[in-house]
Amino acid sequence: MQTKHPIFKRLLIWRAKHISHKQFVYLLSILIGFTSGIGAVVLKNLTHYIQLLLEGKLVQYYHQAFYFLFPLIGLTLVYLIIKYVIREKVSHGIPSTLHAISKRKGIIKGYQMFGSILTAPLTVGFGGSVGLEGPAVATGAAIGSNIARLFRMNQKTKTLLICCAAAGALSSIFKAPIAAIIFAIEVFSLDLTIASMLPLLLASLSAIITSYFFSGNDVILPFRIEDTFRISDVPFYAFLGVCAAFTSIYFAEVYERIQKLFDKLNSPIKKLLVGGIAIGVLVYFIPPLYGEGFDVINNLIVGNPEKALVNNFLNLDLTNIWIVIALLAGLVFFKIIASALTFGAGGVGGIFGPTLFMGSIMGNCVAKVINNCGLFSTPVSESNFTLVGMAGLLAGVLHAPLTAIFLIAELTGGYDLFIPLMITAAISFGITKYFVSYSVYTMELARKGELITHDKDLAVLTLMDINKVIETNFIHVTTNMTLGEIIKEAVIKSNRNIFPVIDEEDNTLKGIILLDDIRPIMFDQTLYDNVFAIEVMQKPPAIIDIEKDKMTVIMKKFQDSSAWNLPVVKNGTYIGFISKSKLLTAYRRELINFTS
């Protein structure tokens, strides 16, 4: 983002003279916290207004069949807005922000600042079974990125300000500033230093003050702990952690498989119709799947599950506790299916909300089973299990146990549940991590080698741009060239001692010729017309495929082959070479930028 306005240029000059870089980052973090808070408030209120208008008026006073129509209508509106108004793909989730950090140097296009605000409320408000946290973070991140670009911040500062935006968005939505900071550190793998901690704190604080200013004391989960923790409940919370782990594994598997099914549908219209009709059917028969579902969570916490299940299409007897448990388990089973269908159909939303929804119901189910199976004399607290269940699933699905612990602790207004939160979150995270290496956020990025992790070496390798280390000044020869032509056209004109051999028809790499390979015969002119390139070439010790190989794989190929130069291909076509010296120089430069 470049600007040539003279007043702005003078402002930049004045800032450079009178305000240090560190102080200016602090000011920007406050500004970004405020703008992220505003974005989250707008998203939340606009969505709730649409839900109130549709669900409170049309469904309540006319007919429940609108539950079937609403998701399809909402997804259609989202499709039309993206296609004809925004005219760009709306990156609405946290994975898109992680991709921008790792592969786009923190650059997020300007339209992303309002893309999610236009589309996420329509998706969720019309019944899409997803959350608003992902779009809020994406909106804040886009604002943070563009503010950083406006003031010519470097990549490291830009990344920090994007993380500040993410912390601000979560702080504003949940009114949980500490959990928001931890979320930015855990999910975005921020290199934690005192220098990065204070901007995160300022952004989170600015955002929560903004949220209080516009929405007062209203919170998503208005609850205070009444049942105290007992040491005798430790085995039950450990069991809850195991249940949360396997629910997290189910969540990840179903989400990924449904996304792969939709990837096979090439037409966005087909995706819209298939996903829209499917989610409409689910919401029609299971109304609690409509939207985010925080009203269902609140009913569970205060001990009113019947209120959330009153519209079950089978009209089952809710006085039977086992029927209630079965219906609640059904909500856990179908919620992630509904969420994945919403995404597949082109909806804009996040998975944070569905994770909380499933976790709360799972925890409530586990508590009800323990209390009604007749094996234990002392009942457990269903409200506490509902809350701790949310933390367990957050820890497993998002691979963010600390965020899960502090979020629920802050939402409940204290740390009375800290021990059970730690037990459940730790067990859930440990088991899930064993079976599912990456979180739902990072699954796709990890497969592509585009994921920044807390491992500093891997983070630096991920941030490196492979295209910048490819050298193209190697003179190539073709397979049918004679020895004389090779010497005349390549050896004499090149200052390199390696020559790629390519097919003259399709430009595919066939091999390489080292100067050492032809040195014994290069002065024997009787061989100039009788020896061909294909006879003296050799197979490269390794080949780098720019489409498939991530930087860690490239480094390993150099290590295993002991080569100094390796050829690079794209779809089999020769591109150039990467030298070990240039690769290590680029790595050293990126490491300095990353840690400075």
Least confident interval from 16-20, 77-81, 129-133 = 16-20
Mean pLDDT to the nearest integer, 134-159? 86
Rg for the chain (alpha carbons), in Å? 29
21: which 2 tokens? 């870089």
Highest-scoring range by mean pLDDT, 16-30, 388-402, 453-467, 476-490: 388-402
Q: Half-sphere exposure of 11 toward its Cβ, with a 13 Å CA cutoff? A: 10
For residue 319, name the pLDDT band (cuts at 50, 70, 90). Answer: confident
Q: Do β-strands 477-478 and 498-502 pair in parallel, antiparallel, or remain unpaired?
A: parallel
* pLDDT exceeds cutoff 80 at 5: no
Q: Under a CB-based contact definition with an 8 Å cutoff, are residues 259 and 344 in contact? A: yes
Which pLDDT score, from 0 to 100, does residue 478 have? 86
Domains delineated in the chain: 6-215 (1.10.3080.10), 231-454 (1.10.3080.10), 460-595 (3.10.580.10)
Which pLDDT score, from 0 to 100, does residue 462 have? 62
CA angle 142, 146, 148 (to 5 degrees): 115
Mean pLDDT to the nearest integer, 401-422? 86
Highest-scoring range by mean pLDDT, 16-25, 171-180, 297-306: 171-180
Which pLDDT score, from 0 to 100, does residue 112 have? 84
- Spatial distance between the Cα atoms of 477 and 190, rounded to a whole number of angstroms: 47
* pLDDT exceeds cutoff 90 at 394: yes
Least confident interval from 84-93, 385-394, 569-578 = 84-93
pLDDT tens per residue across span 261-270: 998 888 889 9
Tell me, rounded to whole angstroms, the distance of Cα 443 from its chain centroid. 8
Mean pLDDT to the nearest integer, 5-26? 78
Chain mean pLDDT for the chain: 83
- Spatial distance between the Cα atoms of 95 and 188, rounded to a whole number of angstroms: 10
* pLDDT exceeds cutoff 70 at 3: no
**Residue 459 in 3-state DSSP?**
helix
Q: Do β-strands 544-545 and 565-570 pair in parallel, antiparallel, or remain unpaired?
A: parallel
Which pLDDT score, from 0 to 100, does residue 20 have? 82
pLDDT higher for 438 or 35?
35
CA angle 562, 566, 570 (to 5 degrees): 145
**Residue 569 in 3-state DSSP?**
strand
Which residues are registered as beta bridge partners of 370?
Answer: none
Which pLDDT score, from 0 to 100, does residue 57 have? 57
493 burial type by CB count under 10 A (0-12 exposed, 13-18 middle, 19+ buried): exposed
Is the pTM of the predicted complex or chain greater than 0.85? no
Least confident interval from 33-37, 188-192, 228-232, 390-394 = 188-192
576-585 long-range Cβ contacts below 8 angstroms, 24+ apart: 576/470, 576/471, 576/472, 576/474, 577/470, 577/471, 577/474, 577/498, 577/500, 578/466, 578/469, 578/470, 578/471, 578/544, 578/554, 579/469, 579/471, 582/469, 582/471, 583/469, 583/554, 583/555, 583/558
For residue 311, which amino acid is it? N
Which pLDDT score, from 0 to 100, does residue 300 have? 81
Q: Under a CB-based contact definition with an 8 Å cutoff, are residues 501 and 513 in contact? A: yes
* pLDDT exceeds cutoff 70 at 106: yes
Mean pLDDT to the nearest integer, 567-595? 78
- Spatial distance between the Cα atoms of 38 and 99, rounded to a whole number of angstroms: 24
* pLDDT exceeds cutoff 90 at 509: no
Highest-scoring range by mean pLDDT, 134-143, 489-498, 531-540: 134-143
Which pLDDT score, from 0 to 100, does residue 496 have? 81
With CA atoms as reference, report the closest residue to 247 among 328, 324, 332, 326.
Answer: 332
Residues in the chain: 596
Which pLDDT score, from 0 to 100, does residue 414 have? 60
